[in-house]
Amino acid sequence: MRKIEYPEPLQKGGRIVVNAPSSGVTIDWKAYMDQAKRNVEAAGYEVSISDSVWSNVQLTSAPKEMRAKEMQQLLQDRSVQAIVPVWGGEFLFEILPLLDWERLRKEEAKWVLGYSDLTTFCFVYTLLTGRASAHGNNFFDLGTTPWDLLTRRWVDVLGTAAGESVVQHSSERYQTHFSRKNPDDPFRLNEQTEWKWLGQEQNRAALVRFSGRLLGGCLEILRSLVGTSYAPVQKFVDEHCAGEGVIWYLESSEINAAEIYRSLWQMREAGWFQGAKGFLIGRARGNLDVADFRYQDALHRALDELQLPVIYDVDVGHLPPQMILVNGALAHVQVGQGRGTVEMVYR
C-alpha cells in the first residue's frame, strides 16, 4: 500500500497565501478580508493576499489560464507553507486541465485548505498526487472574531506532523444562516448541535465507532467529477486505502433532498463507495424537502443497502462551525448521545 504524503506542519511565522482559484471578492468585502488578515497575523503567521482576489467577473477572479498559472506557481513556491483561498465559487474545474500534474507529483506536499468549490482542487489533488489536503474554513471565515473552539482548530490540523494525530470534537452549537453585519462579527451559534445516526435517531444510548481514510467534500462538486479523469477514486482506494477503507464525508450547499439522492446514487453506481466504512454527512442548508420526500429519505434510499453507519448533521460544510477534515488521513470516529469525536492519524 502506498503511503499518503503529508505537508510539513504549518509553523508560527510561516507564510500563508490567499488566492482565488475560483471566485474573487469585490471591494465591498475588503473590510472583512482585512479583519481575517489581522486575525491570522495575530495568531502568528505571515499573510500574503494575491492581487487576483480583488476581482470577480462572470463568477471568476480571472481567466482560467491566469488562475491555473498562479495556483501552479504557489504550489511550487518553497516559501509558501499553506494556500488558503478566499472562498469558493462555481468554476474552479476550469483550471484542472491546465495544471501540470506530473510536475506537482514531484513537488513537496503543501497544505491547501478550503471548502465549497475548493473541493474541486483538494479532492483531485489528493487523488492524483497522493498528498493530503484539508477541507475546512476558507480564508474569509477567519474574519470572525473571536474564533470559536472548532474553527480555531485549523491551526492544529495544519500544524500536525506526519506520524502524529489530532483530535476534534463536535461543536456545542452551530449557525443556521449567514448573519455577519460587521467585519469582526463572530459566528451566531444559535442552534444546538446534534450528530445523528441514521436509523438510530431514537436510540440515544447507541454508540458507534468506525475507522477508515477520509475522503470527500461538497456533493455538488463531487458529482460533477464522476466519470472524469480527475477522479480515479477506485485506483486511489486500491493504492492508498487497502485494508483500511474510506470514510466518506459529504456536505451540500444549495441542493434539495431529491438532488442529494440523485448525487449519492450517481456516486454509488460509479463504484465510489466500494470499500467504504461509513459516512459523515454535513449539515445541509436551505429548504430540503420536496413534497413528502425528506432529507433523511434521500440518505436512506441512497445508502441503506450498503449497511454502513451513516452519521448526519455533522460539523462539516456551509453551516459553521466546521471541523477540518484531511483527505487521506486515517480517521477513528466515535458517535453517541448526539456527540462526535474524530481522531485523525497522519500515517
Is 7 contained in some domain? no
Is position 313 within any domain? yes
- Say how many Å lie between the first and final Cα of the chain, rounded: 12
- List the grid coordinates of 169: 470534537
Cβ density class 101-116: b for 16+ within 10 Å, e for less: eeebeeeebbbbbbbb
Final residue in a domain of this structure, among 104, 129, 162 = 162
What CATH number does residue 232 fall under?
Answer: 3.50.30.60
- 303 shares a domain with 234: yes
pLDDT at residue 157, as a whole number: 98
pLDDT at 178: 76
Domain shared by 192 and 126, yes or no? no
pLDDT value of residue 84: 98
193 lies in the same domain as 257 = yes
Is residue 342 within 8 A of residue 167, CB to CB? The reply is yes
Residue 10 lies in a domain: no
* Same domain (yes/no): 76, 191: no
In this structure, what C-alpha cell is assigned to residue 138? 476558507
Q: Using alpha carbons, select from 176, 200, 184 the residue that is nearest to residue 311.
A: 200
Assigned domain for 168 exists: no
Query: Do residues 288 and 339 both lie within one domain?
Result: yes
pLDDT digits (tens, 9 = 90+) for 24-56: 999 889 999 999 999 999 999 999 999 989 999
Residues 331 and 342: their CA atoms lie apart, in Å, by 6
**How many domains would you assign to the chain?**
2
In a domain, 5, yes or no: no
CATH number at residue 58: 3.40.50.10740
Say whether both 106 and 25 belong to one domain: yes
**pTM score:** 0.96
Q: What is the pLDDT of residue 107?
A: 94
> DSSP readout, 82-99?
EE--S---S-GGGGGGGS
The answer to whether the Cα torsion of 83, 66, 231, 270 is positive or negative is positive
Alpha-carbon distance 61 to 19, whole Å? 9
Angle CA(109)–CA(151)–CA(15) in degrees, nearest 5? Answer: 40
- Domain boundary (139, 162, 185) is at 162
E strand or H helix at 49: strand 46-49
In this predicted structure, what is the pLDDT of residue 287? 64
In sequence order, what are the residues at sequence separation of 6 or more whose Cβ sits closer than 8 angstroms to the Cβ of residue 103? 72, 76
Q: Are residues 238 and 341 located together in one domain of the fold?
A: yes
Please name every residue paired with 290 in a beta bridge, in sequence order, or none if there are none.
293
Contact indicator for 33, 86 with CB cutoff of 8 Å: yes
Tell me how far apart the alpha carbons of residues 238 and 217 are, in angstroms, rounded to a whole number. Answer: 20
Instruction: List pLDDT tens digits, range 247-295.
Output: 999 999 989 999 999 999 999 999 999 999 999 999 987 668 999 999 9
- Positions of the chain with pLDDT under 70: 286-287
135 lies in some domain: yes
Instruction: Give a yes or no: residue 183 inside a domain.
Output: yes
> Are residue 289 and residue 318 in the same domain, yes or no?
yes
Same domain, 150 and 179: no
Assess whether 120 and 178 both reside in one domain. Answer: no
- 73 with 214, same domain: the answer is no
Last residue of a domain, one of 132, 162, 192: 162
Grid cell in block for residue 98:
491546465
Amino acid in position 192: Q
Q: Cα(99)–Cα(64) distance, rounded to whole angstroms?
A: 10
- Tell me which residue range forms the domain holding 75: 15-162
Residues 133 and 206 in one domain: no
Residue 182 domain-assigned (yes or no):
yes
Taken in order 32, 75, 148, 61, the sign of the CA dihedral is: positive
308-327 residues labelled b (16+ CB within 10 A) or e (exposed): bbbbbbbbbbbbbbbbbbbb
Nearest of 186, 214, 183, 193 to residue 280 by alpha carbon: 214
